[in-house]
Amino acid sequence: MQIVSRTRDLGLAALLAILAAPVSAQATQASRTASLLTELIRANTSNPPGNERRIAEILAPKFKALGFDVQIVQTPDSGKAHFIARLKGDGSKRPVLLAAHADVVGVEREKWTLDPFAGEMKGDHVFGRGAIDFKGGMAVFARAVMMLAENHVPLARDVIFVAEADEEGGTYNTSWLAREHWADMDAEFALNEGGWIMTHDDGRVRYVSISTADKSSIALTLTARGTSTHSSMPRPDNAIFALSRAMAKLSAYETPLIVTPETKQFFTALAKTSTPPMSGYYRDLVGADAAKARKADSVVGRDPLLHALVRNTIAPVIIQGGFRNNVIPGSATATVNLRMIPGSDPAAFVEELRRVVADSTIELKLPATLNRPSAPSSQETELYRALVREAHTEFPSAEITPYLFQAGTDAGAWRSRGVPVYGIYPYPIDADELTRMHGNDEKVSVKALEQGTAMIYRTLISVAGKK
Ligand SMILES: [Zn+2]
């Protein structure tokens, strides 16, 4: 039984008694989400190599015992498997799906103050790699789905839970799964990771952002060519100098402001929960006055995340050229990671960069297969509306807003097939906790996990429960 779902039936005195109980006792008695999370963290699924099959093996018996149809989908890599569990509805509506990646990024173990794979509970937090990204979310999604079965909620649609491999990199991700097993993961709409439930410093929830689109990632290569010769007789056509000039021009170039309807809503929500002068800058950034928007951009853009939300970005990531001291190489190559806003055309963006480089001897080349950004998912679906409603119920003081996720997720497998996906890290976190994601001493609070579980559970009842 979840503490939060029970609080409505409890008297105030009983509720206060629970809140006053030592947190560790509260956690062990009440938080099945936190205890599932500790179990998931203990299976080290740092990718590479991933070994996501271990997560499938932890989850399979738990879901099976509750009457789910359970599948472990083996990939050609023996350590990697996807997990799919389906709770049957009466079929009158199409399924709702919840997806969570089972892999995590690796750790710099010496920088952690505790074992990243022990799933330690300290104070009112669960610590460990994946606590936020995304084993915490997996625990919340899994518990919310399991509660439907435990509480025998009559369902109008199937509820599908997917724990997936290779989200943090690799071949056998959800795109592979969708090619091989689409029938098992087809749905009317889905939840995934993405937006944030951000708190103020005092712990109150400031805003809930639900991502309706992800930026797409493209590897552009720039190649400069020159005469390969002895380094004692340099020539003007030096490939490394030419590439360096091109890179210097790119580094000085700021891509234009692009405001989508979702980012406009996001910055408007941010403005409402901020104080001057920042609230004014957030409003100006997405307002009609271009001069004010530019000025606001120069201030707001100091935050790298907010800077990335309103433009296509350019980040050099690999540079190669030369192999020994006495040889001038015949070529030098840079890989530049481009992150694009939905609706942007990769070819047009490359043309823009070609004009900036302004050197016809430099070759700019896109990869043969392109990750085109999927269109944003609609805000007019039953799932989006239910999630907004339940976020309001759980966090009454918060602004709720759609969001363009600054990075990529596995949502593309669904969005590119027309299935709307809504992204959320389903627990309140503060700026410090956000920094620890992919960093050190990653943690999430037990209370936050409980609030998230309650919110997602009620969302599912609203969307999948028989009326
Ligand atoms: Zn993630």
Do residues 82 and 165 touch, judged by C-beta distance below 8 A? yes
- What is the Cα 336 distance to its own chain's centre? 22
Interacting residues of 303 by C-beta distance below 8 A, sequence separation 6+: none
Q: How far is the CA of 282 from the centre of ligand 1 (A)?
A: 27
C-alpha 132 – ligand 1 centre gap (Å): 8
CA of 388 to the centre of ligand 1 (A): 21
For residue 173, the CA-to-ligand 1 centroid distance in Å is: 12
pLDDT for res 12: 42
**CB-based contacts of 60: which residues, under 8 Å, 6+ apart?**
70, 72, 83, 85
How far, in Å, is the centroid of ligand 1 from the Cα of 73?
Answer: 20
- How would you write the chain as a 3-class SS string? CCHHHHHHHCCHHHHHHHHHCCHHHHHHHHCHHHHHHHHHHHCCCECCCCCCHHHHHHHHHHHHHCCCEEEEEECCCCCCEEEEEEECCCCCCCCEEEEEECCECCCCHHHCCCCCCCCCEECCEEECCCCCCCHHHHHHHHHHHHHHHHCCCCECCCEEEEEECCCCCCCCCHHHHHHHHHHHHCCCEEEEEEEEEEECCCCCEEEEEEEEEECEEEEEEEEEECCCEECCCCCCCCHHHHHHHHHHHHHHCCCCCCCCHHHHHHHHHHHHCCCCCHHHHHHHHCCCCHHHHHHHHHHHCCCHHHHHHCCCEEEEEEEEECCCCCEECCEEEEEEEEEECCCCCHHHHHHHHHHHHCCCCCEEECCCCCCCCCCCCCCCCHHHHHHHHHHHHHCCCCEEEEEEECCCCCCHHHHCCCCCEEEEEEEEECHHHHHHCCCCCCEEEHHHHHHHHHHHHHHHHHHHECC
Distance between Cα 64 and ligand 1 center (Å): 26
Q: What is the whole-number distance in angstroms between the Cα of residue 225 and the centre of ligand 1?
A: 39
Q: Largest alpha-carbon pair distance within the chain? A: 87
CA of 437 to the centre of ligand 1 (A): 9
Which residues contact residue 3 at a Cβ distance below 8 angstroms, ignoring those fewer than 6 apart? 18, 26, 29, 30, 31, 450
The answer to whether residues 103 and 40 touch, using CB atoms and an 8 Å cutoff, is no
Tens-binned pLDDT, residue by residue, of the chain (467 aa): 323 333 333 344 444 444 444 444 444 445 999 999 999 999 999 999 999 999 999 999 999 999 999 999 999 999 999 999 999 999 999 999 999 999 999 999 999 999 999 999 999 999 999 999 999 999 999 999 999 999 999 999 999 999 999 998 889 999 999 999 999 999 999 999 999 999 998 889 999 999 999 998 899 999 999 999 999 999 999 999 999 999 999 999 999 999 999 999 999 999 999 999 999 999 999 999 999 999 999 999 999 989 999 999 999 999 999 999 999 999 999 999 999 999 899 999 999 999 999 999 999 999 988 877 788 999 999 999 999 999 999 999 999 999 999 888 889 999 999 999 999 999 999 988 988 988 899 999 999 999 999 999 999 999 999 98
At 30 the pLDDT is: 59
CA distance 286 to 266: 10
Q: Is 120 exposed, middle or buried (0-12, 13-18, 19+ CB in 10 A)?
A: middle
Q: Are 174 and 406 in contact (CB under 8 A)?
A: no
Spacing, Cα 101 to ligand 1 middle (Å): 7
Contact 404/266 with Cβ under 8 angstroms?
yes
Query: How far, in Å, CA of 312 to CA of 289, rounded?
Result: 21
CA of 435 to the centre of ligand 1 (A): 14
Q: What is the pLDDT of residue 89?
A: 98
- Check: CB of residue 34 under 8 Å from CB of residue 138: no
Alpha-carbon gap, residue 391 to 205, rounded angstroms? 10
Expressed in angstroms and rounded, the spacing between residue 438 Cα and the centre of ligand 1 is: 9
Taking the centre of ligand 1 as the mean of its atom positions, its distance from the CA of residue 226, in whole angstroms, is: 42
Would you state the pLDDT for residue 286? 97
**CA 133 – ligand 1 centroid, Å:** 5
Residue 19: per-residue pLDDT? 45
pLDDT number for residue 5: 35
- CA–centroid distance, residue 136 to ligand 1 (Å): 10
Gap from CA of 199 to ligand 1 centroid (Å)? 20
pLDDT of residue 170: 87
Residue type, position 120, single letter: E
CA distance 87 to 107: 35
How far is ligand 1, taken at its centre, from the CA of residue 90, in Å? 32
Q: Beta 421-429 vs 189-199: how paired, if at all?
A: parallel
CA 162 – CA 74 distance, rounded (Å): 13
